[in-house]
Amino acid sequence: MRQPGSAIGGLDSEHLRLLEVFDDIHAELSNDARQAELERLCGMLVAGTKKSFSDEEQWLARLDDRGLALHQSQHACFAMYLEHLVASSSSMSTGALCLLKDWLLDHVRSMNLLMRSERSVQTTGVRRDASA
């Protein structure tokens, strides 16, 4: 798990907060979590990821991106695993929590690269080769 307060380059405050919520849940699990606090944090995580995924999908739809269906499938799978994890919050696995956090971090980073690339194309009119 990332140490609280450590910087993760290139992420906006919304996504940084989602990663902090993962850390907060991990801390609660490590300290004999209060069920009410765990449920509150899990609710924040579910709502935050749903909003983030919805925003991504709307952006991809506006671009008429061929990867939209794949993203929707990935988002649905992540949401299913997260909701399963949240449903078993009293016996939540810290390993599963770390796995979901790592996936989300990688996903957000790749989306940020795609968004930067698209903004560059809109600004310059030049699309760079993905292998460059």
Yes or no: say if 68 and 60 are a contact pair by the CB < 8 Å rule. yes
Distance CA 62, CA 118 (A): 12
Structural domain span for residue 51? 13-114
Q: Is residue 126 part of a domain?
A: no
User: Which amino acid is residue 79, in one-letter code?
Assistant: A
pLDDT tens, the chain, 132 aa long:
444 334 456 678 888 899 999 999 988 887 766 778 888 888 999 999 999 999 999 999 998 888 899 999 999 999 999 988 888 766 778 888 999 999 999 999 888 888 888 876 666 655 544 433
Q: What's the per-residue H, E or C state across 64-80?
A: CCCCHHHHHHHHHHHHH
Tell me whether residue 128 is in a domain: no
- Decide if 109 contacts 11 (C-beta within 8 A): yes
Within-domain flag for 119: no
pTM (2 decimals)?
Answer: 0.76
Specify the pLDDT at position 121.
Answer: 66
Q: Could you tell me if residue 2 is inside a domain?
A: no
The whole-number pLDDT of residue 46 equals 92
Quote the pLDDT of residue 51.
Answer: 93
Tell whether 131 is covered by a domain: no
For 85, other C-beta atoms within 10 Å of its C-beta total: 19
Would you state the pLDDT for residue 3?
40
- Asked if the structure places residue 1 within a domain, the reply is no
Whether 42 maps to a domain, the answer reads yes
Query: Rounded to whole angstroms, what are the CA distances from 68 to 22, 50, 59, 61, 113?
Result: 26, 15, 9, 7, 16
Q: What is the pLDDT of residue 132?
A: 39
Helix, strand, coil content of the chain in percent (nearest 5): 75, 0, 25
Helices (H), 35-93: 35-63, 68-87
Contact 128, 120 (CB under 8 A): yes
Integer Cα distance of 7 and 120 in angstroms:
25
Residue 33 covered by a domain: yes
Note the pLDDT of residue 78. Answer: 94
